[in-house]
Amino acid sequence: LKALWFDGKSLSLTGRPTPKPRPGEALVRVRLAGICSTDLAILEGYMSFTGVPGHEFVGTVISADDPSLVGKRVVGEINCACQSCQFCLSGLQKHCPNRTVLGIMGRDGAFAEYVCLPVENLHKVPDEIDDEAAVFTEPLAACLQILEQVHIKPHHKVIILGDGRLAQLAARVVRLVGCSILVVGKHRAKLDLLDGLGASALLLDDFEPDHTADFVIEATGSPSGIKLALECIAPTGKVVVKSTFNKAPALPLSRLVIDEVSLVGSRCGPFEPALRLLGNGSVSTAELISAIYTIDRWQEAFDAAASTAIKVLIKLA
Ligand SMILES: [Zn+2]
Ligand SMILES: [Zn+2]
């Protein structure tokens, strides 16, 4: 099968044997996969990962112990837990110390024609959600995690820092609360994708932080983002940190103490609500796709994802 392989230094298209599912796992034919900032960070050494990257996908189940899944279109949660440690037994599977993570830690990912995942990680995709929308389930779920972690109320003022892939989805989710949203980014064209969503948008150069936001969602992908977030947040506010960094940012931590500000780290989230929002049209994603490449043109795809493109997809079937 064709797969993109990262050897710790560079990515290349290789032929690999079709993976053999372990007990309890399904073999999935990947249809479409999305390139995320985490993938770009992995190519720079994040998590010291080697293997097949890629964790945002939609595919068709080829084989599984559960026959009702075979032939079905699915998306997959990326954390594969041991199900027997104290974290797993208390429902914190995504924090299992023995876990593997699809395309990020100890498990080959979705930039390949076939991928294996535990059956309990899979979610059937309803017919009304096409592949181009379903591939957003994983990052959309990660944005819904914000609402699982902090209680944003309709009267609150929320600032989203960043205008890329995750910031765009975060704006589409948080706006459902009815709160005031300001998105601050560096790219006019990306900010324009927020038109019609009821969120305000400002270029970073025109923005003056003034410690008035009840919540700041940091989705810049840059270490300077958290520092800016601490300049935006009101006393007792909460900063939700979404970016994954290779380098630790230098932070004015005394601000946390003086202003009693909380920093909330936020990772993966619930898939079923994400599928609901995609299925009923509450969250639109079509305008966020900037290009779809075949896997043979992976280099162009990664170049596009690293430049100003929003979501770049790789078509595998
Ligand atoms: Zn991702
Ligand atoms: Zn565990």
Mean pLDDT of residues grouped by 10 in the chain (317 residues)?
96 95 97 95 92 98 95 98 96 96 97 98 98 98 98 98 96 98 96 95 97 97 91 97 80 89 96 98 96 97 90 96
pLDDT of amino acid 248: 73
* Global pTM value: 0.95
CA of 35 to the centre of ligand 2 (A): 28
pLDDT of amino acid 309: 76
CA of 41 to the centre of ligand 2 (A): 26
Ligand nearest to C-alpha 96: 2
CA of 55 to the centre of ligand 1 (A): 6
CA of 95 to the centre of ligand 2 (A): 8
CA of 76 to the centre of ligand 1 (A): 12
> What residues sit around ligand 2, an ion, with C-beta below 5 angstroms?
81-82, 85, 88, 96, 98
CA of 99 to the centre of ligand 2 (A): 6
CA of 293 to the centre of ligand 2 (A): 36
pLDDT of amino acid 308: 76
Residues forming beta bridges with residue 184, ordered by sequence position: 161, 202
